[in-house]
């Protein structure tokens, strides 16, 4: 009996150590548009994990492996699971309601594009989705990120957006209210995997931080990096502007995990339930 009791105590201590890990405390915000941190247990080699058929970022903390899972905004609260090593590992998605934002645009084509513009938009979307699907084997240099610019938030992630009274896709990132020309710095080391000028996003840069952990910056006035360039943390990628569908200068920043756009506020300690 004492031996069994001792094993139970050891199991409880091990579980509490995993549940109370720094990464879990910092990043686990399992809501639609949030992040779930799922314990994969110890392993001599890095395990693989998938969620909704997509590879998931896996990192090691002390002797334990953790899956850092991006949860789509479209997921309903309730039970979800990832797959790893033949196992299905559950996590629970909680409830989060997002506010509405109503925006008036003078350029009506930015709300209802004409056929030629729609063709351009479709082609650009294909290129950008391919970038979001990138999955390099590199482990990210850091998961707690720096702000790309210093300034107040002007629009939060997940906001339901109405342009000239018509609902469009929810806001997929954070907007910072900073002047045109402000340098934008990459919040972690990474590789530039895409740059371009797009109908909605304007001048845009994608940086792959490793294992599907990707930053996207857009509406820039100037791009200062090239595809294939390896960037150290804090490297300037460009300048703030108002290109594309923008009502004025600001810095828009997306974070993508397993091809899902999630709230960047989680990674800079600014998440609000």
pLDDT in tens, 127-148: 999 999 999 999 999 999 999 9
Give the span between the Cα atoms of 100 and 78, in whole angstroms: 24
Encoded tokens for 42 = 């110890």
* Nearest alpha-carbon partner for 226 in 210, 237, 218, 216: 237
User: CATH class for domain 2-93?
Assistant: mainly beta
pLDDT bin (cut points 50, 70, 90) of residue 161 is low
* Nearest alpha-carbon partner for 71 in 107, 40, 98, 33: 33
> Residue 109 has what DSSP assignment?
G
Strand order of the β-sheet with 50-51 is 54-55, 50-51, 78-84, 87-93
Span 250-265, mean pLDDT?
97
> Residue 160 has what DSSP assignment?
E
pLDDT bin (cut points 50, 70, 90) of residue 162 is low
| pLDDT of 140 | 97
| pLDDT of 103 | 65
Fold of 100-268: Glucose Permease (Domain IIA) (2.70.70)
Residue 206 bridge partners (DSSP): 194, 216
Instruction: Please state the domain extents for the chain.
Output: 2-93, 100-268
Cβ partners under 8 Å of residue 229, min gap 6? 191, 192
Q: How far is CA 115 from CA 109, 120, 261, in A?
A: 10, 9, 27
Within this chain, domains 2-93 and 100-268 share the same CATH topology: no
| pLDDT at 9 exceeding the cut of 50 | no
Give the span between the Cα atoms of 220 and 103, in whole angstroms: 20
Give the span between the Cα atoms of 147 and 267, in whole angstroms: 9
Residues 186-235 have pLDDT tens digits of: 999 999 999 999 999 999 999 999 999 999 999 999 999 999 999 999 99
> Residue 29 has what DSSP assignment?
B
Cβ partners under 8 Å of residue 214, min gap 6? 131, 132, 134, 193, 206, 207, 208, 254, 255, 256, 257
Q: How far is CA 185 from CA 20, 145, 220, 263, in A?
A: 31, 11, 12, 18
Residue pointed to by tokens 């979307």: 125
């Amino acid at each position: 009996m004492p031996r069994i009791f001792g094993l139970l105590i050891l199991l409880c201590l091990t579980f509490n150590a995993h549940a109370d890990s720094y990464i879990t405390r910092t990043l686990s915000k399992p809501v639609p548009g949030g992040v779930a941190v799922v314990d994969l247990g110890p392993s001599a080699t890095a395990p693989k994990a998938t969620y909704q058929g997509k590879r998931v970022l896996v990192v090691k903390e002390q002797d334990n492996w953790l899956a850092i899972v991006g949860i789509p905004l479209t997921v309903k609260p309730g039970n979800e699971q990832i797959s790893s090593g033949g196992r299905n590992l559950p996590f629970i998605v909680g409830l989060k309601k997002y506010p509405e934002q109503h925006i008036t645009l003078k350029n009506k084509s930015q709300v209802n594009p004409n056929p030629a513009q729609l063709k351009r938009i479709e082609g650009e979307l294909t290129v950008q989705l391919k970038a979001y699907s990138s999955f390099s084997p590199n482990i990210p240099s850091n998961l707690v990120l720096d702000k790309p610019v210093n300034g107040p938030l002007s629009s939060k992630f997940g906001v339901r957006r109405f342009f000239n009274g018509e609902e469009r896709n929810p806001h997929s990132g954070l907007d910072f209210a900073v002047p045109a020309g402000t340098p934008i710095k990459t919040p972690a080391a990474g590789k530039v995997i895409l740059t371009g000028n797009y109908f909605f996003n304007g001048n845009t840069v994608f940086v792959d931080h490793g294992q599907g952990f990707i930053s996207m910056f857009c509406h820039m006035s100037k791009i200062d990096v090239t595809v294939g360039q390896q960037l150290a943390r804090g490297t300037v990628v460009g300048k703030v502007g108002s290109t594309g569908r923008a009502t004025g200068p600001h810095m828009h920043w997306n974070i993508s995990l397993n091809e899902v756009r999630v709230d960047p506020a989680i990674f800079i300690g600014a998440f609000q339930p």
